[in-house]
Amino acid sequence: MNEEIQLTERHCLNCDKALDSKMRRDAKFCNTYCRTEFNNKRRYGLHPDVVKVDKILHRNFEILEAALKDKEYVYVKKEKMLRQGFSFDYYTQAKNEYHYCYTLCYKSSDAEKIWIGRGFNSIVKKYDQYNQ
């Protein structure tokens, strides 16, 4: 059997320019600039409240990650986190006394310190075992 492969001309999702046939089959953009511009338009086309909350959550995640460095868990002064711009009102999930920001979690250990840990269930179970 002799099957012909049909080549269809593909176009950049941002500028609609024809993509070079030498590009990968799954290429969607003609260059990095077009990819970035397309994604920025899409992101900022969201409702302004969504963009605002997303920025706050990402900032919270960066602060938690910087505090952890390469450790499994740490205790940090609440005041220090507030000075860095952490917002305790924004998190992605809450379970019992733990608040999650994507894959990192935190818990008030007392009025002045915050416990910060990695992951979900495994690290929370370890924290509970050590503090019973």
Tens-level pLDDT at each residue, the chain (132 residues):
455 555 578 999 989 999 988 899 899 999 988 998 888 888 777 777 887 898 899 999 999 999 999 898 999 999 999 999 999 999 999 988 899 998 899 998 788 999 999 876 555 555 555 565
- Residues 12-49 have pLDDT tens digits of 998 999 998 889 989 999 998 899 888 888 877 777 78
For the chain, what are the domain ranges?
A: 8-45, 50-130
Q: How many CB atoms are located within 10 Å of the residue 49 CB?
A: 8
Please tell me the predicted confidence (pLDDT) of residue 121: 56
> Measured on CA atoms in the order 21, 23, 29, 34, is the torsion positive or negative?
negative
Q: Is pTM beyond 0.75 here?
A: no
